[in-house]
Chains A and B, each alone.
Chain A
Amino acid sequence: MPTLPAWVVQALVIFLTTGSTGQLLDPCGYIYPESPVIQYGSNFTAVCVLKEKCMDNYNVNATYIVWKTNHVAVPKEQYTIINRTASSVTFVSMAYLSVQLTCNILTYGQLEQNVYGVTVVSGFPPEEPKNLSCIVNEGKKMMCQWDPGRETYLETNFTLKSEWATEKFADCKTKRGNPTSCIVDYAPIYFVNIEVWVEAENSLGKATSEHINFDPVDRVKPNPPRNLSVSNSEELSSILKLSWINPNIRNVIRLKYNIQYRTKDATAWSQIPLEDTVATRSSFTVQDLNPFTEYVFRIRCMKEDGRGFWSDWSEEASGVTYEDRPSKAPSFWFKINPSRTQDYRSVQLIWKTLPPFEANGKILDYEVTLRRWKSPSQNYTVNDTELTVNLTNDRYVATLAARNRVGKSDASVLPIPPYPFQASQPVTNLKAFPKDNMLWVEWTAPSKSVRKYILEWCVLSDSSPCVPDWQQEEGTVHQTYLKGNIEESRCYLIVVTPVYPAGPGHPQSVKAYLKQAAPSKGPTVRTKKVGKTEAVLEWDQLPVDVQNGFIRNYSIFYKTIVGNETVVNVDSSHTEYTLSSLTSDTLYMVRMAAYTDEGGKDGPEFTFTTPKFAQGEVEAIVVPVCLAFLLTTLLGVLFCFNKRHLIKKHIWPNVPDPSKSHIAQWSPHTPPRHNFNAKDQMYSDGNFTDVSVVEIEANDKKPFPDDLKSLDLFKKDKVSAEGHSSGIGGSSCMSSSRPSISSGDENTASTVQYSTVVHSGYRHQAPSVQVFSRSESTQPLLDSEERPEDAQLVAESGDRGDSIPPRQQYFKQSCGQPDTSPDTCHFERSDQLSCGSEEDLVRLKQQPGLGHTSQPCGSEQVKALQEGSAADTFGPRAEGHTEKLETVGVEAALDEGIPKSYLPQTVRQGGYVPQ
């Protein structure tokens, strides 16, 4: 019989061969075998036989046959031409599970004509089914299942066979889609052995499992016990009685049971020992249960001898054990309220509700007694878990007992110390640590016997106050865990107080975390001070709410924009750190991380720039510079102030006012009037056309050469001195501050001579070549005009000296210097004088010993002045001077007739050489 795919192929062939005529035609040939099923990987040979008629029609024979698998031509090497009409093809190790094999002929024009097609299916013969097992669910028929072995890729039938020694049962055919199990269609006959096996069969073979022989009663899975019910006993609070209805299989077999129970809230089941339930029964009393506790039960059963299967669990049933008196006294503690009066204090007694396993029933109320020494006790019945009483400052003993329907608990005794009371004897070595997801507290007991310990704890937080929870531990305990809702990442403050018979001991506290975490915020770092190469960072301690653990250390990360990050670890006790070795004038980015044991958290980044200069560096530079500048300026100002007359002379030269000329005022009787010769000479060149020249004859000419000599010597000594005699007369005032002698006449090359002293020879002698001619400069005249006030001042000062004020006035004017200092020149304005000579004169004054040897160059006037102002100093020598000056004055007068030139006249070298 052709398989379906082969049919399809045949239909296709028919369609192809009928062509457009639609006429049904026989195929041109056939392939044998027609519907081959072969073992996967085995060799396979097919033969195509052509029909004679077809061969004639297409004029072909077997050599024209082309084999194709899945429309792909098979290599010619696999062909074998058997005879004229038949060609075979051989496949070695067929590796297709299903392949379409077609036989085609190559007709005229190389057209391929399909002749016939088959589908070659390959697979495996069945393996022997393994692990055959059977089960008889109570009330149902027997079901057996097995492991079919490897995939065959072919349709494989499994048949479950069963028989008795005396009876053969009907085969059990597996249902399609579930070839690994079968349910027999006869009711199980218990106590008769049955033999069961499985046969697997497909196109390639047949396999049989091993036979198993068993009594179906040993394969029974009973139904679970029904109607489980639980009842308690008023007599015994620790028992519950279970009863149930056994499954019907109880009629056939004896049963054993498995009973499990748990408290209502538990998830894990406890099991009643199997030895206690090995026989058929319908009730059982469970013992050693806790009072007033709801228990849940379930039960299952199986054949007593353990052959077969446990039933499913029954439906759960629950029951509550009867109440019993509370098994433990409640935890008992007190707080002293802050409000107290002189004689009374408000004491709040607090206690904990008993957990259900200790309450053993519904707590109806609490009995509290308070007893003062030798006083009758006060009794209270409280429904709440606290009682506030006003007590005197004496010592009290409070007792507490919880009461339920059955009875009263033992009393919990709490000594309340008198007031005041010095607590002592704390626990030592208090430690808190997390373990097994609980916060454990451990301490070393004090040497004294402790009645109990009170542990109080609360969450430390900045946002909420410390609301303490507490618990009580026995006096023998020195390690416990906090029985409360302890959260992770919160800081707990735990206080342990030992309670002695006399009263509570000194509390000890410790901080702990159940589980630390990285801080939720990092510290905010900022700079406290930034220096050129260092920065002082500061930060605040993290608030406890974001710490999430004990801050163990900080890390400071800092870097420049381009540089690598540098990390510094800082102990958690610090809130300040100094970064050193920084680069000046650089932007630094710094941030901080705080670390707990569980990790760290970065804070915000902070940037700062180191200054270019260190603190005070700028000041250190600027201040001295400023000071120096100030000083310089001050000095300059002082100087200029000191020399302002020179400046003025330079900038606003004194123009002598001719109208104020008092030449007529001079007194001919006074020796200094000779000086006027020179003056007259000066004015004679100027505007003073009217000036009369007075010739003053020197009384004594003799010493003069000596004087000149000494002057000359002195000049020579001063060759190196700064010579400022050059320039026009006015400018020499500047240099006059230096009391040095300028040998202006010696430096003829570079200096302009203001005047030349022309010696007209000693009186009555041949006048020498020395001529003191007046300078062409008219400045002093202007100056004196401009400074009449000065002249007045000088006049005044002159009045002090002697009786020659009128003459002096002029000179004073010309000097323009109200200063009475003898060091300065008092007669700068005498334009005949070269500055050099002025200096000389000054020098002369400074060296009084030389005073009388002064040059004739206007020195007469100087001496005259000095007589007025410094006559005391010079003493009698001044007289001699005067005489010499007079001589000069005479000479000057003699020179009057010599043509005057405004151009500076050059004096021969040695012009001043003593004649």
Chain B
Amino acid sequence: MACHRGWSLYLLSLLLPLLSPAAPISPAEPISQAYSLALYMQKNTSTLLQTYLQYQGSPFSDPGFSAPELQLSSLPPAAVSFRIWHALDDVERLSRGQEAFLALSQHLQLVGDDQSDLNPGSPILLAQLATARLRAQGLLGNMAAIMTALGLPIPPEEDTLGLVPFGASAFERKCRGYIVTREYGHWTDRAVRDLALLKAKYPA
């Protein structure tokens, strides 16, 4: 897991400030846009997971496959206790979300690469993975725009993925993809809640 995705982070760090001047004074619009995107993503996350599992063969494609215990150290878990989540302020929520979707976009890129290796003849899955990555990237941008609109400091970029074990087995890669697509859904759900809260706070 040593794949270096520094270019995208670098790009992000470069481009995010550029949005600041164009950002509206009212944060309602970026919040609304981000919320719409999150909602839209939410409708597709389960499809993505199902499509992914379907292409991975047994046991992944088996009906009712679930492995909630599998986790990736490089990917922050979306699960959080309601008390903790509720206690978070806007900045923390947005920061956690940003962090997570930055990691997710990197991981989705990784999974996409893995799948184009493992399932080269599955353009639907590859397209969905690419789209999911782009959406994660987009939500990241929207969140940055919200922070800019709110006048919050944008947290520094991190190479969350770190070293990528290129020698991972196909099964490991499939497992990794499963975790990423699953967590993508979880984080999307959490983002919808985060943004709904924020949207309520900053009505249009």
Residues of A within 8 A of B127 (CB): 187
Of the listed stretches B15-23, B57-65, B70-78, B166-174, chain A binds: B15-23
Q: Is B6 an interface residue (CB 8 A)?
A: no
Residues of B within 8 A of A217 (CB): 36
> Is B4 in the interface zone, CB < 8 Å from A?
no
Q: How would residues 209 to 253 of chain A score, 1 for a CB under 8 Å from any chain B CB and 0 otherwise?
A: 000010101000000000000000000000000000000000110
In the complex with contacts A213-B22, A217-B36, A164-B138 CB distance below 8 A: yes
Q: In whole angstroms, what is the CA distance A535 to B180 when docked? A: 117
**A858-870: contact bitstring with B at CB < 8 Å (1 yes, 0 no)?**
0000000000000
Set of chain A residues within 8 Å of B15, measured between Cβ atoms: 163-166
CB distance from B62 to the nearest CB of A (A): 28
Q: Check if A189 is an interface residue, CB within 8 A of chain B.
A: yes
> Is A191 part of the contact surface with B, judged by Cβ < 8 Å?
yes
Q: Is the CB of A186 within 8 A of B134?
A: yes
- Among A163, A191, A252, find the residue whose CB has the most chain B CB atoms closer than 10 A: A191
Contacts A165-B16, A165-B19, A166-B15 given; indicate if A191 touches B37 (C-beta within 8 A).
yes
Chain B CB count within 10 A is highest, among A163, A165, A252, for A165
Asked if A190 is at the interface (CB within 8 A of a chain B CB), the reply is: yes
Are B141 and A164 closer than 8 Å at their CB atoms? yes
Chain B residues with CB below 8 A from A187, complex form: 127, 131, 134
B2 close to A (CB within 8 Å): no
B window 133-156: CB within 8 A of A: 134-135, 137-142, 144-145
Which residues of the partner chain A approach B79 to less than 8 Å between Cβ atoms?
none
CA distance A37 to B70 in the complex (A): 65
Q: Does A192 contact B (CB under 8 A)?
A: yes
Residue of A nearest to B128 (CB): A187
A252 (CB) vs chain B CBs: closest residue: B40
Query: Across the interface, do B40 and A191 meet the contact criterion of CB distance under 8 Å?
Result: yes
Q: Is B11 an interface residue (CB 8 A)?
A: yes
**Nearest chain B residue, comparing its CB with the CB of A167:** B137
Say yes or no: is B43 at the interface (Cβ < 8 Å to chain A).
Answer: yes
A684 proximity list for chain B (CB < 8 A): none
The answer to whether A192 touches B18, judged by C-beta atoms less than 8 angstroms apart, is no
Q: Which residue of chain B lies nearest to A164 when distances are taken between CB atoms in the complex?
A: B141
> Which residues from A are CB-within-8-Å of B140?
166
Known contacts A166-B11, A166-B144, A192 near B131 by CB under 8 Å: no
Q: Is B34 an interface residue (CB 8 A)?
A: yes
Nearest neighbor of A169 in chain B, beta-carbon distance: B134
Q: Contact between B137 and A166 (Cβ–Cβ < 8 Å)?
A: yes
The smallest beta-carbon distance between B115 and chain A, in angstroms, is 17
Query: Which single member of B33, B43, B141 contacts A166 (CB below 8 Å)?
Result: B141
Contact of A165 among B36, B131, B134, B141 (CB under 8 A): B141
Kindly state whether residue B12 has any CB partner on chain A within 8 Å.
yes
Chain B 46-88 near chain A by CB (<8 Å), digits 1 or 0: 0000000000000000000000000000000000000000000
- Do A166 and B40 contact each other (CB < 8 Å), given the known contacts A186-B134, A187-B127, A189-B135? no
Chain A positions 247-294 with a Cβ under 8 Å from a chain B Cβ: 251-252
Chain B, residue nearest A190 (CB): B40
Give min CB distance, A768 to chain B, whole Å.
183
* Bound-state Cα–Cα, A743 to B31, Å: 169
> Which residues on A sit within 8 Å (CB–CB) of B134?
167, 186-187, 189
What are the residues of chain A within 8 A of B135 when measuring CB–CB?
189, 192
* Interface size range of chain B in the complex: 20 to 34
Q: Is A191 in contact with B11, judged by CB distance below 8 angstroms?
A: no
- State whether the Cβ of A168 lies closer than 8 Å to any Cβ in chain B: yes
Instruction: Determine the chain B residues whose CB is within 8 A of the CB of A191 once the complex forms.
Output: 33-34, 36-37, 40, 138, 142
Do B37 and A192 have beta carbons less than 8 Å apart?
yes
Q: Which residues of B contact A252 (CB under 8 A)?
A: 40
Residue A692 at the chain B interface, CB threshold 8 Å? no
Cβ-closest chain B residue relative to A191: B37
Query: Are the CB atoms of A168 and B142 closer together than 8 Å?
Result: no
- Residue-wise, chain A 82-120 has the 8 Å CB interface mask toward B (1 for contact) of 000000000000000000000000000000000000000
B22 with A192: CB separation less than 8 A: no
Residue A906 lies at the interface, judged by CB distance under 8 Å to chain B: no
Residue A369, interface by CB 8 Å = no
Report whether A165 and B34 are in contact in the complex, using a CB–CB cutoff of 8 Å: no
The proximity string for A residues 156-170 relative to B, scoring 1 for CB distances below 8 Å and 0 otherwise, is 000000011111100
Count residues on chain A whose CB falls below 8 Å from chain B CBs: 18
Question: How far is the CB of B143 from the nearest CB of chain A, in Å?
Answer: 10
Q: Chain A's nearest CB lies how many Å from the CB of B35?
A: 8
Kindly supply a per-residue 1/0 record for chain A positions 171-206, scoring 1 wherever the CB is within 8 Å of any chain B CB and 0 otherwise: 000000000000000110111110000000000000
Taking CB atoms, residues of chain A closer than 8 Å to B12 are 165-166
A215's contact among B33, B131, B144, by CB below 8 Å, is which? B33
Chain A nearest CB from B31 CB (Å) reads: 11
B40-A165 in contact (CB<8A): no
| Shortest distance between the CB of A505 and any CB in chain B (Å) | 73
CA distance A166 to B8 in the complex (A): 8
Whether the pair A166, B16 counts as a contact (CB closer than 8 A) is: yes
A163 to B19, CA, bound (A): 12
Residues of B within 8 A of A251 (CB): 40, 43
Q: Interface 1/0s, chain B 25-49, versus A by CB < 8 A?
A: 0000000011011001001000000
Q: A187-B131, A191-B142 are in contact. Are A164 and B36 (CB under 8 A)?
A: no
| Contact among A163, A164, A167, A189 with B131 in the assembled complex (CB-CB below 8 Å) | A189
Find chain A residues with CB under 8 A from B131 CB.
Answer: 187, 189
Cα distance, A189 to B36, chains bound together (Å): 12
Min C-beta distance of A167 to chain B, whole Å: 5
Decide if B11 touches A167 in the complex (CB within 8 Å).
Answer: yes
A217–B138 Cα gap in the complex (Å)? 13
* CB pair A168 B11 closer than 8 Å: yes
Which residue of B has the minimal Cβ distance to A168? B11
Closest to B127 in A: A187
CA–CA, A193 to B142, complex, Å? 8
- Give chain A nearest CB distance to B124 CB in angstroms: 12
Rounded to whole angstroms, the CA-CA distance of A191 and B145 in the bound complex is: 12
Chain B residues whose C-beta falls within 8 Å of the C-beta of A165 in the assembled complex: 12, 15-16, 18-19, 141, 144-145
> Which chain A residue shows the least CB distance to B43?
A251
What residues of chain A lie closer than 8 Å to B37, measured between beta carbons?
A: 190-192
- Provide the bound-state CA to CA distance between A495 and B16, in Å: 87
**From residue B159, how far is it (CB to closest CB) to chain A in Å?**
15
Could you tell me the distance between the alpha carbons of A756 and B86 in the complex, rounded to whole angstroms?
197
- By beta carbon, the residue of chain B nearest A194 is B138
List chain A residues, Cβ under 8 A from B36. Answer: 190-191, 217
A310→B19 CA distance, assembly (Å): 30
Please give, as numbers and ranges, the residues of chain A lying within 8 Å of B33 by CB-CB distance: 191-193, 215
CA distance in complex: A870, B65 (Å): 190
Please name all residues of chain B whose beta carbon is closer than 8 Å to the beta carbon of A168 when the two chains form the complex.
11
> What distance in Å separates the Cβ of B20 from its nearest Cβ neighbour in chain A?
10
Which residues from 156 to 202 on chain B have a C-beta closer than 8 Å to any C-beta of chain A? Answer: none
Instruction: Please tell me which one of the listed residues A167, A186, A192, A213 contacts residue B142 in the complex, with CB atoms under 8 A apart.
Output: A192
What A residues does B144 contact at CB under 8 A?
A: 165-166
Return the CB mask of A123-167 against B: 1 if under 8 Å, else 0. 000000000000000000000000000000000000000011111
The residues of A that contact B43 with a CB separation of less than 8 Å are: 251
Closest residue of chain B to A215, judged by CB?
Answer: B33
Q: Which 9 A-B pairs have the closest CB atoms?
A: A192-B138, A191-B37, A165-B141, A166-B141, A191-B36, A165-B15, A165-B19, A166-B12, A189-B138
Residues of B within 8 A of A (CB): 8, 11-12, 15-16, 18-19, 22, 33-34, 36-37, 40, 43, 127, 131, 134-135, 137-142, 144-145
20 contacts between A and B (CB under 8 A): A165-B12, A165-B15, A165-B18, A165-B144, A166-B11, A166-B12, A166-B15, A166-B137, A167-B134, A167-B138, A167-B141, A189-B131, A191-B40, A191-B142, A192-B33, A192-B37, A192-B138, A193-B33, A213-B22, A217-B36
Given A166-B144, A189-B138, 17 more pairs with CB closer than 8 A: A164-B15, A165-B12, A165-B19, A166-B16, A167-B11, A167-B141, A187-B127, A187-B134, A190-B37, A190-B40, A191-B142, A192-B33, A192-B37, A192-B135, A192-B138, A192-B142, A217-B36
Q: Residues on A close to B: CB < 8 A?
A: 163-168, 186-187, 189-193, 213, 215, 217, 251-252
